[in-house]
Structure 1
């Protein structure tokens, strides 16, 4: 049976806020230290995956004891990051949605790499987003409906060199058939004026970032 939603808990910024995203039917995947986070909060990952180089021997034993399955790899002889391995596995399960938590953190290289992973899900036509306490990130090439919630701002940044046909409905600063190119900042810090808004594009890849201060 295919899961409706898979939550990947990576080893970046995590806190009590992250557990509030969990629904009863979700499949939980712990990515390296993210697996320890789940277990410390009384949750058993369906899968724990990674090289586990960020946990102690005792912590790894706890992960192995409380996980449904463990997929471990050598920390040196590997071609993918732990998060990419986890996302690849999640895509193979063909869920309706994937949510990445703990994918943003102090390592900007890992943060940027994880944002780039959104393209893998987009190509598979599986809804995927990155969420932390202050941000929610999507990558779109067609249309996205944005709901009003605790994230006050909505920003648009081109992910491909050029994004054309950008049209916004329900926003304070409207756009109609606009074009954004790499380096343009006109899409930063928009605000919803309705309970929901829509973002559509004709060509290119667009990052949409909901955020709060």
Structure 2
């Protein structure tokens, strides 16, 4: 691990909230239109990559000129989304953490595919999260403490066929040695009673989604 946090800004729903999520010292990756967003808001991408099919030629020239490194691929002859390309590059750097901004949006297929990227990070032991204006999404497979912060609700959804041994401490709706299976809504819309809560589990991959209404 190189000790740095990598922040990937990609082309989903972006807004002023992004600026609050970027810290000094982050290594910034602009994926497709996310690179343009970074430049337009005063940030210099450490690398911009993608097929850039969602920007104009003039915008592409600005991205190429304004990025420390630039990697363009053919929009047709490729097998990965721009976000997965950026994620794979980030994993190769062996960072301390990867945060994805703009990975959720109006294209549900892309949003779901981006959530699945969390499992790739977990398999390499790299903590990853997805953040947007109203949600923070992580994937866990071991006991984890979460903090309330700005969020009002916590939902738990299995990313494997089942997750066993789920025990919750510090939540309004407790669970003890519970099993969640795909297609079940038992874990939706829980609430932390204090500023933090603890999640135990025995096996499986569990999405933890902290959220608030607009």
User: For the superposition of Structure 1 and Structure 2, which TM-score range results when normalised by the shorter chain?
Assistant: over 0.9
1:65 corresponds to: 65
Counterpart check, 1:41 vs 2:49: no
Q: Distance in 1 between matches of 2:95 and 2:177?
A: 32
- String of CA shifts for 1:129-181, please: whole Å, max 9, x gaps: 00000111011111221101111000001111111011111111111111011
1:85 to 1:60, Cα distance in 2 relative to 1, 3 A: same
Q: Distance in 1 between matches of 2:91 and 2:199?
A: 25
**Taking structure 2 as the reference length, what is the TM-score of the superposition?**
0.97
C-alpha RMSD of matched pairs (Å): 1.0
Matches within 5 A, 1:1-213: 2-213=2-213
Question: Which stretches of structure 1, 4 residues or more, deviate above 3 A after TM superposition?
Answer: none
Q: How far 1:188 sits from its partner (Å)?
A: 0.5
- String of CA shifts for 1:10-62, please: whole Å, max 9, x gaps: 00000010111111110010000000000000110000010000000000000
Q: How far 1:3 sits from its partner (Å)?
A: 4.3
- String of CA shifts for 1:97-146, please: whole Å, max 9, x gaps: 11000000101110111011111001011100000001110111112211
Gaps of 5+ in 2: none
3-state DSSP class of the match of 2:76?
Answer: coil
Gaps of 5+ in 1: none
Q: Distance in 2 between matches of 1:175 and 1:192?
A: 13
Q: Distance in 1 between matches of 2:123 and 2:143?
A: 14
3-state DSSP class of the match of 2:36?
Answer: helix
Q: Distance in 2 between matches of 1:92 and 1:108?
A: 27
3-state DSSP class of the match of 2:43?
Answer: coil
Q: How far 1:64 sits from its partner (Å)?
A: 0.5
- Quick check: 62-71 or 139-148, which moved more? 139-148
Q: Distance in 2 between matches of 1:167 and 1:209?
A: 16
- Quick check: 13-22 or 143-152, which moved more? 143-152
Number of residue pairs the alignment of both structures matches: 213
